[in-house]
Amino acid sequence: MDIFPILLELFVPLYCLYYSYRIKKHPPKLGEKGLGTKLAMQSQAAWDYANQYGSNLCLIFGVVTGLIFIVGRCFIIGLNTMNYVYSGVVMLIEFACVVSLIPLTNAAVKKKYGLTKQKNDNKKKKKK
């Protein structure tokens, strides 16, 4: 059995779980490393909420992709021809989870705090 696909598939779930644990135990201060989008950096409350929400999403994504890995590996044991195809599908799912993390968190911050990007606010004021 080739170990490389297994390590690739396990990297994202383990990193998501590590990131979630690290952000929950040691939350970053405003402007430091963390989920630093323009909306999240507008206030300390929005920053704290974005990092808390993002770490919860990372925990969920880590558990879900880990379960996909475990269940998939149970069904694919012994099928060497499907090993790389399965690994590719799992990596696409993991990539989609990681990429969707920032837009989902941004939408949650917008909804909770009613924040918008400052550029859009200036354009709207000029048009009126």
pLDDT bin (cut points 50, 70, 90) of residue 127 is low
Helix (H, G, I), strand (E, B) or coil at 120: helix
Of the candidates 65, 55, 50, which has an alpha carbon nearest to the alpha carbon of residue 96?
A: 65
The amino acid that residue 90 corresponds to is: V
pLDDT bin (cut points 50, 70, 90) of residue 1 is low
How far apart are alpha carbons 103 and 17 in whole angstroms?
A: 19
Name the CA dihedral angle for 32, 36, 38, 41, rounded to a multiple of 10 degrees: -50
pLDDT tens, residue by residue, 42-90: 777 877 787 788 888 888 888 888 888 887 777 766 566 566 677 777 7
What is the radius of gyration, based on Cα positions, of the chain? 19
Q: Is the entire prediction scored with pTM above 0.95?
A: no
pLDDT at residue 116, rounded to an integer: 59
Helix (H, G, I), strand (E, B) or coil at 33: coil
Per-residue pLDDT, averaged over 112-128, amounts to 58
Of the candidates 41, 44, 52, 65, which has an alpha carbon nearest to the alpha carbon of residue 19?
A: 52
State the Cα angle at 69 between 21 and 9, rounded to 5°.
75
How far apart are alpha carbons 10 and 75 in whole angstroms?
A: 17
pLDDT bin (cut points 50, 70, 90) of residue 124 is low
Length of the chain: 128
How far apart are alpha carbons 120 and 87 in whole angstroms?
A: 42
